[in-house]
Amino acid sequence: AQSVTQLDSHVSVSEGTPVLLRCNYSSSYSPSLFWYVQHPNKGLQLLLKYTSAATLVKGINGFEAEFKKSETSFHLTKPSAHMSDAAEYFCVVSDNFNKFYFGSGTKLNVKP
């Protein structure tokens, strides 16, 4: 069975400091993993995806994530937070049957 655990429901950082949003997954298959972002009252936008090509994945807006099979983790990072990064972030795992499993989300607050 597939599942995703986002370890923090809320993260607060100061502008210009690093961002770390944690995600652990469980999968019976070789997983595809994704991070989506949702700004307030908006839809979901794909930040990045892992599909076995490379363990360090670069996404949009300076975000990246590293797939660590031994730790079953896919944490999202950014070196320097910007005010516009304030949003909710979802970690998602996909199985081999095109079903997608969402974490419960992490709300990122960026303080000036």
Partner 1 sequence: DAGITQSPRHKVTETGTPVTLRCHQTENHRYMYWYRQDPGHGLRLIHYSYGVKDTDKGEVSDGYSVSRSKTEDFLLTLESATSSQTSVYFCAISEGTSGEYNEQFFGPGTRLTVL
Binding interface with partner 1 (CB under 8 A)? 6, 9, 32, 34, 36, 43-46, 49, 51-53, 90, 92, 94, 96, 98-100, 102-105
Minimum distance of partner 1 from residue 69's CB (angstroms)? 17
Which residues lie closer than 8 Å to 3 by C-beta, 6 or more apart? 25, 26, 93, 101
Minimum distance of partner 1 from residue 68's CB (angstroms)? 20
Minimum distance of partner 1 from residue 16's CB (angstroms)? 29
Closer to partner 1 at the Cβ: 6 or 73?
A: 6
Which residues lie closer than 8 Å to 2 by C-beta, 6 or more apart? 25, 26, 27, 28, 29, 31, 93, 94, 95, 99, 101
Residue 61 CA neighbour count, 13 Å, CB half: 17
Closer to partner 1 at the Cβ: 53 or 112?
A: 53
